[in-house]
Chains A and B, each alone.
Chain A
Amino acid sequence: MRHRFLIGAGSLVVVGVTMWLAGAVVAGQAPSGTTTFAVPASTYAPPKTPWGDPDLQGVWDNHTNVPMQRPANLAGKKTFTDAELTARARTSGDNDPLCNRNDQRCAGATVADLDRLDAYNGFWTPQSFVSDNRTALIEDPPDGRIPPLTPEGLARQQAYLRAHPATEPSAAVIEIRHWEDYDLAERCIAAQVPTTTMGYNSAQYLMQSPGWVMLAHERLNTRIIPLDGRPHLGGTMGGWMGDSRGHWEGNTLVVETTGYTNKQSGGSVGAFADAGIPFGNFRVVERFVPVGPNRIHYYVTVNDPTTWTRPWTFMQPWEKDRVLSYNDNVGATKAEPYQMYEYACHEGNNAMGNSLRGTLQARQRAATRPADAESTKSLIGKTEADIRAMYGNPVTIAGPRWQYSTADGILQFFAFFENGKVVLVRPDDIRLTEVVPNR
């Protein structure tokens, strides 16, 4: 039975009961390197490939909005009830802006809501999730939190963050001055392995052939895993994605990955480890546990005694054949398996050059901006009447934001009001005379 949350138009559909999520931990083989955690066994037996391996082939998606760590206010609570999930779905996971800038929903928007550079609205993020009633992806430690860093790990991370200060993604200005200020995935090099969900285009095609498993991630990574027991490469030959070796334990695919580069990935989209944590000493054990024909429970155990005080394990459910109620594939006229398309990241990466040039430009512009008294910045503190007197009625109003045009008709001018006074203007560095009065 397919279990899926479809979140669209603010409503939620839950189909069926998820038995396996409530299952107790059954004593199974403990992944080497953990303390007491044992991956729950599954009774499901998948079909076999012609050469006798369990057949897990197909396109899988791990799209979820379950956070990695259990939030503090949910300490001790491992799962949500169905009713709680329904309520949560209505308020979270919806990436749409509060208002479309010019409609009545803006009336209730705050200045911060409107003065925000949205990456993408909900259009770009698929509004469906693999069903999961847990409050965190982490299964071990039982408190659902990443274990503390060792003193060495903490020092290393702090040093990295001093050199690359992180900012809130929605900060007004993020200065990229060097390509390494971007993370690995945004540099179009690779994604961290293993990869968690990347917001969109997160599917993985699991392909098998005698003696091999290949994992083609929709974006960036292609992992090739030999199953013949050959030794690891050694050193850092595994590069960004590490060097993986796999084998079957019953119907579970077990993959051990070492040999990662020690260079920084900078956190990154789809990351499971934050910025400031190099992978050079990692030993990662993944367990792909099939629990149904369209579902795998994917466990990842991360070992690095130089970084964390103990190993830890997270689990993400994967689901196959994620077909939504509208056409998911180009030209599809009926429900079909998800089709991955080419993701030529580096080829189209204009963002890198634009951002670097942007920093060069912004620094130059700061040097030549008009004096505050002559610039729009001086409008802060003015009243609505003051602004009307200078520029007439605004061209449009969106909640607290008044909009005027400028000389070229392209650049717009925004004045944001709170309690009848201007609290913010965009742009704040053009001349007062560049704003065109609306008479």
Chain B
Amino acid sequence: MSLLALVAAAGLVASAQPRVLTQDGRIPRTSWDKKPDLNGIWQTLSTANWDLEDHEGGPSPVVVTGVWGARLPGMSVVEGGKIPYKPEALAKREQNRKNALPGKPGRDLNADPELNCFLPGVPRATYLPHPFQIFQSPNRMWIVYQYSYARREIFMNGKKEAPIESWMGWSNARWDDDTLVIDVTGFNGQTWFDRAGNFATEALHVVERYTMIDNDHLAYEATIEDPNVFTRPWKISMPLYRRIEKNVQLLQFRCAEYVEQFFYGELVSPPRN
């Protein structure tokens, strides 16, 4: 009995959606265009959100949080190991590192955007420590992330140039055989790639590739380009895992509320009477 069947028999897999397995029995395909069916809830296991490059574990920057706030170790997800910065841009990355966690009350726009509960941009939204859900129907796709209100409308066979700048960019997608390729532009230059200060400008251009390995695994790659910051395009990659728990769903993480005390605690006036 296959592992999948065993798992299903054990009742660990949510009651099945109608799925059409291909002859090779490995990946589900949609009934309408026979493309890989990416519908579902996915999540990374990587710690790239701490740092895209190699990073050791370490103590929390906020001492009193003990191990709750400790830094997790992880291996680089960057092809070749290091991000190819222009020398002047590397100085900015180091500056970001110092500013990432200001450590005092009040909203600081130089801090890590994630610290402030700001939108993560692409590709960071993919490897936050939160699940996300892909919705796929004929000629439509959305990706909704558990983190904050992050979401992306994915324009299937989209050709339009980004009409505005945004945190999450403008996503034009097409199928390259069985790989979903999403071309993302129109960023506002305010996003970071991780907590370690890696960043880009409005010239950022990201090309994501989602390839289904089997029913429960996606191979995710993103090629990143920004001539203002990097000497050449560079690539990250990591697997994405389907969340297979029964009845799994995205939960609410509306973190604007969680930073109110942080941002505004010092600005409160006492009640009049």
Chain A residues within 8 Å of B, Cβ to Cβ: 49-51, 57, 175, 177-179, 187-190, 205, 207-212, 214, 216, 220-222, 224, 226, 228-231, 233, 237-241, 329-331, 339-342, 344-347, 349, 352-353, 356-357, 359-360, 363
Q: Is the CB of B164 within 8 A of A340?
A: no
Nearest A residue to B256, CB-CB = A346
**Interface flag for B103 (CB, 8 Å):** no
- A340 pairs with B137, CB closer than 8 A: no
Whether the pair B135, A207 counts as a contact (CB closer than 8 A) is yes
Given contacts A50-B32, A220-B149, contact A356 B137 (CB under 8 A): no
A216-B151, A228-B15, A230-B247 as given contacts; A209 in contact with B137, CB under 8 Å:
yes
Q: Which residues of B contact A211 (CB under 8 A)?
A: 17
Chain B residues with CB under 8 A of A342: 119, 164, 166-168
Q: Which residues of A contact B163 (CB under 8 A)?
A: 329-331, 339, 341
Question: Is B257 interfacial (CB 8 A cutoff)?
Answer: yes
Closest B-chain residue to A263, C-beta based? B257
Closest 5 CB pairs of A and B: A239-B252, A330-B163, A356-B267, A177-B269, A342-B166
Q: List 11 A-B contacts (CB under 8 A).
A: A208-B137, A209-B137, A210-B17, A212-B39, A222-B151, A329-B163, A330-B164, A331-B160, A347-B190, A352-B264, A356-B264
Also in contact, A359 and B269, with CB within 8 A (given A205-B153, A222-B149): yes
Q: Whole-angstrom distance between the alpha carbons of A189 and B258 in the complex?
A: 10
- Given the complex, which residues of A lie within 8 Å of B138, measured CB to CB? 49-50
Work out how many contacts link A and B, with CB atoms closer than 8 A. Answer: 130
In the assembled complex, B136 has its CB within 8 A of some CB on chain A: yes
Name which residue of chain B comes closest to A184, CB basis.
Answer: B257
Is the pair A356, B269 in contact by a Cβ cutoff of 8 Å? yes
A360 and B267 contact, Cβ closer than 8 Å, known pairs A187-B260, A214-B135, A344-B167: yes
Q: Taking the complex as formed, is B234 at the interface, i.e. its CB lies under 8 A from any CB of chain A?
A: no
Complex interface: chain A residues within 8 A of B271 (CB): 177
Give the number of residues in B that approach A within 8 Å (Cβ atoms).
49
Q: Are B264 and A179 in contact (CB under 8 A)?
A: yes
A50-B30, A177-B269, A344-B119 known; A209-B39 Cβ under 8 A: yes
Q: Knowing A353-B107, A356-B269 touch, does A190 contact B260 (C-beta < 8 A)?
A: no
How far does the Cβ of A191 sit from chain B's closest Cβ, in whole Å? 10
Task: Kindly identify which residue among A207, A210, A347 contacts B140, using a CB–CB cutoff of 8 Å.
Answer: A207
A212 touches B151 (CB 8 A): no
B interface: dominant SS: loop
Residue A216 contacts which of B142, B164, B190, B268 (CB distance < 8 angstroms)? B142
Query: Whose C-beta in chain A lies nearest to the C-beta of B30?
Result: A50
A331 contacts across to B, CB distance below 8 A: 160, 163
The answer on a CB contact under 8 Å between A189 and B142 is no
Chain A nearest CB: distance from B36 CB in Å?
A: 14
B 232-273 binary contact with A (CB < 8 Å = 1; else 0) = 000000000000000101111010110010011001111110
How far is B119's CA from A349's CA once the two chains are assembled, in angstroms? 13
Closest Cβ–Cβ distance, residue A135 to chain B (whole Å): 35
A34 to B112 CA separation, bound complex (whole angstroms): 49
How far is it, in angstroms, between the C-alpha of A360 and the C-alpha of B265 when the chains are bound? 13
The answer to whether A360 and B269 have CB atoms under 8 Å apart is: yes
Measured CA separation A188–B264 after assembly (Å)? 14
List, in ascending order, chain B residues with CB within 8 A of A179's CB.
260, 264, 268
Residues of B within 8 A of A208 (CB): 135, 137
